């Protein structure tokens, strides 16, 4: 019975680590909150009027490890 509980404990740990290695965070999926607001601003007001939102999105991306 202890081998069953050991196997059930190991499976989630291995699966979680494998998923992270197989599916790293893609830039297109990172920071959806700042990306959505930034994109809406650029469409409505133009890139030159949305510098603060663009920088906020870049800061978010950098905090996740992306080199921007």
Residue stretches of the annotated binding site: 28-29
Q: Evaluate if residue 67 carries a pLDDT over 70.
A: yes
Residue stretches of the annotated binding site for Cu cation: 28-29
CB of 59 closer than 8 Å to CB of 38: no
CB of 67 closer than 8 Å to CB of 60: no
The pTM is what?
A: 0.65
Query: In the structure encoding, which two tokens stand for residue 33, read together?
Result: 């909150």
Q: What is the pLDDT of residues 13-57, one digit of tens each?
A: 444 444 446 688 999 999 999 999 999 999 999 999 999 999 999
**Helix 51-63 crosses helix 32-45 at what angle (to 10 degrees)?**
160
What pLDDT score was predicted for residue 23? 84
Alpha-carbon span 66 to 68, nearest angstrom: 6
């Amino acid at each position: 019975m202890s081998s069953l509980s050991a196997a059930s404990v190991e499976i989630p740990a291995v699966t979680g680590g494998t998923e992270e290695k197989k599916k790293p965070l893609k830039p297109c999926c990172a920071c959806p909150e700042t990306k959505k607001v930034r994109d809406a601003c650029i469409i409505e007001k133009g890139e030159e009027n949305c510098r603060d939102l663009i920088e906020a999105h870049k800061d978010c991306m950098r905090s996740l490890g992306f080199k921007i």
